Amino acid sequence: MTDLHKGLTQAEVIRSREQHGRNLLTPAKRKSLWALFFEKFSDPVIRILLVAAFLSLGIGFIHNEFAETIGIFCAIFLATGVAFWFEYDAMRKFDLLNSTNDDTPVKVVRDGEVMEIPKQDVVVGDVVILQSGEEVPADGRLHEAVSLKVNESTLTGEPMIDKTTDPAHFHHDATYPSNEVLRGTTVIEGHGVMVVEKVGDATEFGKVAEQSTVESEEETPLNLQLGRLSKLIGRAGISLAVLTFVALLVKGFLFGGLLEADWITIAERVLQYFMVAVTLIVVAVPEGLPMSVTLSLAVNMRRMLKTNNLVRKMHACETMGAITVICTDKTGTLTRNEMRVHETKFYQEGIDDLIREGIAANSTAFLDTHGKVIGNPTEGALLLWLRDQGVDYAALRGGAKVVDQLTFTTERKFMATLVDSPLGGRYLYIKGAPEIVLNRCASFPDKTAVEAQLAAYQNMAMRTLGFAYGRCDGAQDCGEALERCPLTFVGIAAISDPVRDDVPAAVHECLDAGIGVKIVTGDTPATAKEIGRQIGLWTAEDTDYNHITGADFAALSDEELLERVQALKIMSRARPLDKQRLVRLLQQRGEVVAVTGDGTNDAPALNFAQVGLSMGTGTSVAKEASDITLLDDSFSSIATAVMWGRSLYRNIQRFVLFQLTINVVAVVIVLLGSVFGSELPLTVTQMLWVNLIMDTFAALALASLPPSRSVMKEKPRKSSDFIITPAMSRSILGTAALFIVVLLGMLFWFGEAITPYELSAFFTVFVMLQFWNMFNAKGFASTQPLIFSWKGCYAFFAVLLLILVGQFIIVTWGGEVFRTVPLTWNDWLLIIGSTSLVMWVGEIARTIRYFSRKRG
């Protein structure tokens, strides 16, 4: 065992470091830039696009035309490039936010001398001297503890724990033993001496940090749904291609003279049919979908950053819209992580000056110039209470000359200070556990009333302090004053870590949105339930079935917990890995889980949840494990992120509806044109313009739509839900059928000899049908007609204007490049007016639904 007075020798330090390693945490493995970039190609739609691109490349070599191939590859690299850049940019910002320092000086005893060494050089066996305000550098056992209080909130959620070496005062229900201190916790009062037992990754802090870097294999809801969509598109495209190939073969042999043709002609025609079939697959693939998803996610990343929410992983923006459960810690997330006086009950009248002087002088805490507490948080709460009443505690403390002082200890359970007061005379001020202080008083009010008030505060999970004073003119120290001076009980103060102002409303909004909220904390059951009551989570109808302690949770099997886990609202006395297990069990029950937390204890759960939300003031380990960092520590930002996520998903659905409508039209026209002998009367350059509208412009327009609070009135979508809803299917097929009838009708009207003027009109009608259908896509699933929902949609209308101007320029001055001739103003008015019926029919339907709901 290490000699506390001599510490380790230099030789012992070297041996210990060789045996147990350095006091460093293994850093989280960073993905290389190449790995980050190629990761973007795992998107299911990107994969099907790659197949389409290489098929198109094959067609290009045969026909010596590569425009379509270039367009698809551009769409692929634009989508993956944008996604890569935004995640890389977020990673750089995060690294600046999350920088740590392993060179913090630590006081140790070595070779019989006290010296300071960097935290990373601490080894097992070192004797470390702990003082108020310092962070514990490693895990160890206490050998001295004088009035020692430690902030364990980073590991257990508890902001103030008494530590002692006296077994008689051990807290047997504490999360960690009372004579042990752990890396990452902070001394807030007193001092002590510890012998290091674990360093680096072997510490509790290190174990939790390790779990926070384990790769989670949980797929995001959006990826699952895009995967299903890509399979549907792939199957539909292949089925249509096979159908077309067979139809063309039958047509060729029965009506095309292939039965009498030679083998070379047959081979050439079969290859031509195959190319038409492959073209159908290429046309069926929505190459703009990855761009739309990426742009939507990127826009949301920027919006959230402007509100102090740093998104590290792009898909987390959308996944927030799919969450069904939020597991949150208490301290620093639901509460302010600062002790404040909730209420005071002073029973003596006419002694306000004595009460204020007693609070100011009988204290070891301070307030800095910004009002931040330095020292014991409970004593700091009393100083903040004085400040809120306009009292300068420093002036009162300076005016009262301290004769003697007894600091608070777990054995004594009170603090006493003897002062020469400017009020006249020598006074003894005492504060501490109310029952202890009350029993020392000769004069007190109705004891039954005081005890009833104490019970009421304690049922509300508040810390209580009792105050007393006595006139002790002849006493020379606190011990003498306590023995011979009669004390008068003044009253009590209830102190708590108050709930953040915005939390109850944010929790209420989440509950209304169908999202379950669960508190997971290292605090006591009474405190956890009281906080749950204050935020509107724990109600009179809840029973013990809705609450569990960490010990009981660990004792139950997964099978037993799976039956109960969804009903749980509060887990108290939780250890770090309990939260992670809870997340895993909820996911097994089909829940999409978000976890909030600011401590190292939250890191494993933050990592394994579908979305981890860390606080900006949290530990580096918590932030490293999270997907989103709430820089303003605001729980209300979670509800806002859910709204944005749901709105983003709605925008993606709008784009899918818009593009698949056009894809169905294009596929059917190509199919019918190939089978019945007519080709689509659109050139490659015209199709590139159409694709630009369908992909980039539509993605920009629909991704820029603002979020809507109305989505918070809906229940979360299920992970099993398909991205294309029945309403979308009806809209896609109905609108596509209308477009096909119009376009085929125009071709039939023009006859076999189509003039350049007619082709220009056909091209313009094709584009304007898409133009007006974008309004219907915007209005999909909206609770209001478009006339009521234009606010904040300036980018949408700007893109529409760009499309209209672009089409006019191409038709008027495109010439041979776009195979167009100018149209007359009457033609423009006729085409714009007639195609606008697409929007007006949709708007009339939306208006009827809107007023029907209002009447209902």
Q: Is residue 801 classed as helix, strand or coil in its secondary structure?
A: helix
Residue 854 burial (CB count, 10 A) = 7
Q: Concatenate the DSSP letters of all residues of 15-75 into one string.
A: HHHHHH--S-PPPPPPPPHHHHHHGGGGSHHHHHHHHHHHHHHHHHHHHT--HHHHHHHHH
For residue 344, the number of C-alpha atoms closer than 13 Å in the C-beta half-sphere is 17
- Asked whether residue 445 carries a pLDDT value surpassing 50, the answer given is yes
Taking residues 648-674, what's their average pLDDT? 83
pLDDT band at 739 (very low <50, low <70, confident <90, very high): very high
Percentage of residues in the chain having pLDDT higher than 90: 33
pLDDT band at 695 (very low <50, low <70, confident <90, very high): low
- Asked whether residue 624 carries a pLDDT value surpassing 80, the answer given is no
What is the C-alpha separation between 846 and 731, in angstroms, rounded? 13
The residue among 337, 330, 694 whose CA lies nearest residue 520 is: 330
The residue among 724, 722, 824, 717 whose CA lies nearest residue 764 is: 824
CB 713 within 8 Å of CB 512: yes
From start to end of 601-688, where are the E strands?
A: 611-615, 628-630
Structure tokens at 534: 């204050």
Q: What is the pLDDT at residue 387?
A: 94
Taking residues 215-227, what's their average pLDDT? 67
What is the C-alpha separation between 571 and 529, in angstroms, rounded? 9
Structure tokens at 490: 């003044």
Angle between helices 263-284 and 44-63 (to 10 degrees): 150
The residue among 782, 794, 774 whose CA lies nearest residue 836 is: 774
Listed in sequence order, the residues at least 6 apart from 794 whose beta carbon sits closer than 8 Å to its beta carbon are: none
What is the C-alpha separation between 712 and 209, in angstroms, rounded? 34
Residue 547 burial (CB count, 10 A) = 20
CATH topology of domain 340-496: Calcium-transporting ATPase, cytoplasmic domain N (3.40.1110)
Mean pLDDT of the chain: 83
Query: What helix, strand, coil percent values describe the chain, rounded to 5?
Result: 55, 15, 30
Kindly report, residue by residue over 406-422, the tens digit of the pLDDT: 988 777 889 999 999 99
What is the C-alpha separation between 648 and 220, in angstroms, rounded? 14
The residue among 566, 598, 597 whose CA lies nearest residue 582 is: 566
- Asked whether residue 183 carries a pLDDT value surpassing 60, the answer given is yes
Q: What is the pLDDT at residue 97?
A: 45
Asked if the domains 309-335+501-640 and 340-496 are classified in one and the same CATH topology, the answer is no
Kindly report, residue by residue over 58-102, the tens digit of the pLDDT: 767 766 777 667 766 776 776 677 667 766 665 665 454 444 456
What is the C-alpha separation between 631 and 618, in angstroms, rounded? 9
For residue 530, the number of C-alpha atoms closer than 13 Å in the C-beta half-sphere is 18
Residue 539's Cβ-count burial label (10 Å; 0-12, 13-18, 19+) is exposed
Q: What is the pLDDT at residue 684?
A: 54
Q: What is the pLDDT at residue 98?
A: 46
What is the C-alpha separation between 525 and 173, in angstroms, rounded? 11
730 membership: H or E segment, kind and range: helix 726-750
End-to-end CA separation in angstroms for the chain: 79
- Asked whether residue 44 carries a pLDDT value surpassing 80, the answer given is no
pLDDT band at 232 (very low <50, low <70, confident <90, very high): confident
What is the C-alpha separation between 537 and 543, in angstroms, rounded? 12
- Asked whether residue 196 carries a pLDDT value surpassing 80, the answer given is yes
pLDDT band at 575 (very low <50, low <70, confident <90, very high): confident
- Asked whether residue 380 carries a pLDDT value surpassing 80, the answer given is yes
Taking residues 829-852, what's their average pLDDT? 90
Kindly report, residue by residue over 129-152, the tens digit of the pLDDT: 998 778 899 999 999 887 788 888
Q: Is the dihedral of CA 761, 764, 766, 768 positive or negative?
A: negative
Q: What is the CA radius of gyration of the chain?
A: 36
Q: Which residues are catalytic?
A: 329
CB 414 within 8 Å of CB 431: yes
- Asked whether residue 307 carries a pLDDT value surpassing 70, the answer given is no
Residue 350 burial (CB count, 10 A) = 6
198 membership: H or E segment, kind and range: strand 186-198
Taking residues 158-165, what's their average pLDDT? 80
Among 321-325, 443-447, 783-787, 810-814, the minimum mean pLDDT is found in: 783-787
The neighbouring-strand residues paired with 496 are 340
629 membership: H or E segment, kind and range: strand 628-630
- Asked whether residue 767 carries a pLDDT value surpassing 80, the answer given is yes
What is the C-alpha separation between 129 and 140, in angstroms, rounded? 11
The residue among 613, 620, 559 whose CA lies nearest residue 585 is: 559
What is the C-alpha separation between 562 and 556, in angstroms, rounded? 10
CB 244 within 8 Å of CB 276: yes
The residue among 686, 593, 607 whose CA lies nearest residue 28 is: 607
Q: What is the pLDDT at residue 271?
A: 67
Q: Where are the domains of the chain?
A: 309-335+501-640, 340-496
Q: Where are the alpha helices (DSSP H) in 285-417?
A: 288-306, 316-319, 352-361, 377-388, 393-399
CB 374 within 8 Å of CB 186: no
For residue 362, the number of C-alpha atoms closer than 13 Å in the C-beta half-sphere is 28
Query: How many H-runs (helices) and E-runs (strands) does the chain carry?
Result: 31, 23
Q: What is the pLDDT at residue 742?
A: 92
| Assigned architecture for domain 309-335+501-640 | 3-Layer(aba) Sandwich (3.40)
φ, ψ for residue 149, nearest 5 deg:
-125, 135
Q: Enter the DSSP assignment of 823.
A: P
Q: What is the pLDDT at residue 82?
A: 65
For residue 60, the number of C-alpha atoms closer than 13 Å in the C-beta half-sphere is 16
Among 262-271, 552-561, 645-654, 662-671, the minimum mean pLDDT is found in: 262-271
Q: Enter the DSSP assignment of 717.
A: P
CB 259 within 8 Å of CB 266: no
What is the C-alpha separation between 132 and 700, in angstroms, rounded? 55
pLDDT band at 24 (very low <50, low <70, confident <90, very high): confident
Listed in sequence order, the residues at least 6 apart from 287 whose beta carbon sits closer than 8 Å to its beta carbon are: 49, 52, 71, 72, 75, 76, 691, 695
- Asked whether residue 261 carries a pLDDT value surpassing 50, the answer given is yes
Structure tokens at 22: 């350095």
The neighbouring-strand residues paired with 430 are 416, 468
φ, ψ for residue 638, nearest 5 deg:
-65, -45
Kindly report, residue by residue over 273-306, the tens digit of the pLDDT: 776 676 666 666 666 666 667 767 777 777 777 7
What is the C-alpha separation between 282 and 52, in angstroms, rounded? 5
What is the C-alpha separation between 544 and 849, in angstroms, rounded? 45
CB 180 within 8 Å of CB 145: no
What is the C-alpha separation between 593 and 597, in angstroms, rounded? 13
Q: What is the pLDDT at residue 278?
A: 67
Largest separation between any pair of C-alpha atoms in the chain: 131
